[in-house]
Amino acid sequence: MKNINIIIELLKKESKSWKYPFVSGWQRVVKSPFTTLISCILSLRTKDETTAKASIRLLKEYNSPEKILKLSTKQIEKLIYPVGFYRTKAKRIKEICRVLIEEYNSKVPDTFDELIKLKGVGRKTANIVMTYGHFKNDYLPIDVHCHRIPNRLGWISTKTPEQTEEALKKILPKRYWYDFNELFVRFGQNICVPVSPFCSKCHIRMYCRRVGVKKSR
């Protein structure tokens, strides 16, 4: 996979021209493992802009387990609406806050195995919290874009995000792990979209095998 380094560096340069939705007010949210965890839970099956706005409404003031537990479930629902499954997520967030207080001294666990014990926290969420909340270097968050694009490029041939995570850890230089998720999510939103990708304006098209691409723009 001699072209991986070239491709990553080209994408970093290309990313400067990509649309990156900025939501006013996010800078007022205290960044921490806790706010990273809650934002990630809100993001499941929800568009990025909707997630960002909901995270701001909830976390700019209620940025700790204790503060959120002072809210009723209905109050949380109102703050996070219209994220997908907002009623279920409101209950889940309260439950996670209770567990963090009672079992982890109000701290978000800083080990992967402890994180996935929290109800509603899967591999992707745990990897994101470990990487962007605790700033650990041994984790590789994989979402739909990070799963689809390496397969489309021909780097790997996997069926699930879990398989992709393991396969990429073997071939992707570790110095790129921290940036990989954000870079490929943005690439997947702006250029390498799921259906009819914009191959004509992609700077790495000469390195792409276009696996499974039937139509492009």
Give Cβ neighbours of residue 87 (< 8 Å, ≥ 6 apart).
77
Does the residue 215 lie in any domain? no
pLDDT for 48: 83
Q: What is the pLDDT of residue 200?
A: 95
Is residue 175 classed exposed, middle or buried when 0-12, 13-18 and 19+ CB atoms within 10 A define those classes?
exposed
Residue 104 has what pLDDT?
97
pLDDT averaged over consecutive 10-residue blocks of the chain (217 residues)? 87 84 62 94 89 93 96 97 96 98 97 96 95 94 95 96 96 94 92 95 94 93
Integer Cα distance of 65 and 91 in angstroms: 13
Residue 216 lies in a domain: no
- Looking at the structure, tell me whether residues 49 and 111 fall in a common domain: yes
What is the per-residue pLDDT for 31? 86
Regarding pTM above 0.75, the answer is yes
Task: Evaluate whether residue 217 is within a structural domain.
Answer: no
What is the per-residue pLDDT for 117?
A: 96
Domain boundary among 133, 155, 175: 133
Range of the domain at 183: 4-18+140-207
Distance between CA atoms of 6 and 114, rounded to whole angstroms?
36
Name the CA radius of gyration of the chain, rounded: 18
Q: Does residue 213 fall inside a structural domain?
A: no
Per-residue confidence (pLDDT) for residue 47, from 0 to 100? 87
